Amino acid sequence: MAVKGVFASDQNIQGTRKGDFASALLQIDPTGSAPLLALSSGMESIGAVDVVVHWFEENHISGRDTITNNATTGTTLVFGDGTSYVAGTILLIETTGEYVYIESITGSSATVKRGLGGTTNTSINGSSTAVPCQRIATAYEEGSAKPTSVANIGYPRFNYMQNFRNAWDVTGTAKVVEYHTGNLVAKNKRDAALFHAEDMERAVIWGKKDIGVMNAKPFRLMDGILSQITTNVTAQSTNVEWDDLDGFLQTIFEKNIKGKPNERIAFCGNTVISVINKIARLEGTIDIAVGQTDFGLEVNKWRTPYGSVTLMTHPLMNESPLWTKDLMVLHPGAIRTRWLRRTMEDNYDKDGTRAGADADFGVLTSEMCVEYRAEVTGGLYTGIDTAVVTS
């Protein structure tokens, strides 16, 4: 398991993570302000050779369509799309239970055989209200000619590499003064590392892609995960019911990544945790026994018929009154970090002798971006503020 008790998508065992900055965070400060970056050490991570990275998004072709013409009991059906249907496709008309067989199709207009498999040829009128139909399978006669080929055509996505830099410094005087915090150089180095991790964490989640020039030099910002999730985005005005969250998660669990467990991890603020626990209290029953000394609920996993979501409070999401009401649900198998330059330290700890400067200093530099592939497997639910009982 990549990160014990959290997710299994990477299928690595504990201790096999690469010795990178993210894995160091996980080992040293697992509950710090950059949990997603730390957990990414157990997710897929690869190098890059350019400041722009590309990947292809490819969604499953749905077999569902609609009939839009007044077909009555005739043999011509016009579909709303029809691009995934070919001659030899068997369809189920959802409203009537009739099976039809596509004999030929041009564009969205098909000639069909009605009443297949002993079903009844029932009048269809999709001219005013489209009639849904569902692909069942394809079937061909013996010695048939080559069928028309169908393929997914992926669409390209890209992100820019962002250059992160954080520095530490200590004057010669400060180095010889005694502090309650111990070695001041070690403390400042650690502080710089934590600030470095937090900067990357914020960009990995909330970053917005941009490119331009700063101080006559190339300047790039990356898209964070939330900018890359566009399909499952829900905004709530105030009251949230069980059915609201249940429907949101049902949509997210409809799609999975080939070869990965259908699992999710959710980051949220304290307001979301409070609302979910209150929903559980309002919708459930609490029994209190005589002599009981503990009371309350502690819900950190939301179980649904479609799948379970592990809930984690993200400290940075509690900084803003808006973010604390957000629920960010992610598929760990969809996240991949890309590194042009892995985290390195340019260390000038020379006891105040470097270039005559009476100070020591160092700089942490990382150049990376994040990909959220198969974005339909993730989602963002905003504005979770008040819990109410399902009516």
- Can you read off the two tokens belonging to residue 385? 């503020």
Helix (H) or strand (E) holding 267: strand 264-268
Query: Using only C-alpha atoms, what is the Rg of the chain?
Result: 28
- At residue 13 the predicted structure's pLDDT band, cuts being 50, 70 and 90, is very low
| Mean pLDDT of the region 140-152 | 87
Would residue 325 count as lying in a domain?
Answer: yes
**Alpha-carbon gap, residue 116 to 341, rounded angstroms:** 61
305 and 360 both lie in a single domain = yes
In a domain, 204, yes or no: yes
The answer to whether position 152 is within a domain reads no
Partners of 217 in the beta sheet? 214
Is 194 in the same domain as 245?
A: yes
Q: State whether 270 and 335 are in the same domain.
A: yes
Residues 262 and 177 in one domain: yes
Q: Are residues 205 and 113 in the same domain?
A: no
Same domain, 121 and 265: no
The tens digit of pLDDT for each residue in 278-308 reads 887 776 666 666 666 555 545 577 788 888 8
**pTM (2 decimals)?**
0.74
CA distance 92 to 99: 5
Domain count, the chain: 2
Q: Is residue 91 part of a domain?
A: yes
Across residues 373-382, what is the average pLDDT? Answer: 91
Q: What's the mean pLDDT when you consider all of the chain?
A: 82
Domain match, 193 and 218 both: yes
Residues 283 and 233 in one domain: yes
Looking at 72, 105, 138, which one is the last position of a domain?
138
163 and 133 belong to one structural domain? no
- State pLDDT tens for residues 174-210: 777 766 556 777 788 888 888 898 999 999 999 999 9
Q: What is the pLDDT of residues 248-282, one digit of tens each?
A: 989 999 888 877 888 888 999 999 888 888 887 77
Residues 276 and 284 sit within 8 Å (Cβ to Cβ): no
Those residues with Cβ within 8 angstroms of residue 4's Cβ, 6 or more apart along the chain or in another chain? 14
- Segment 101-126 shows an average pLDDT of 94
Q: Quick one: 95 and 212 in the same domain?
A: no
- Domain residues for the domain of 115 are 64-138
Judgement on whether residues 306 and 382 belong to the same structural domain of the protein = yes
Q: Is the residue at 357 inside a domain?
A: yes
Q: Tell me: do 37 and 114 sit in the same domain.
A: no
146 belongs to a structural domain:
no
Distance CA 259, CA 152 (A): 18
292: in domain: yes
- Is 150 domain-assigned? no
- The model's confidence at residue 380, banded by pLDDT at 50, 70 and 90, is very high
DSSP letter string, 317-351: GGSSTTGGG-EEEE-GGGEEEEEEEEEEEEEE-ST
The CATH number of whichever domain residue 165 belongs to comes to 3.90.1690
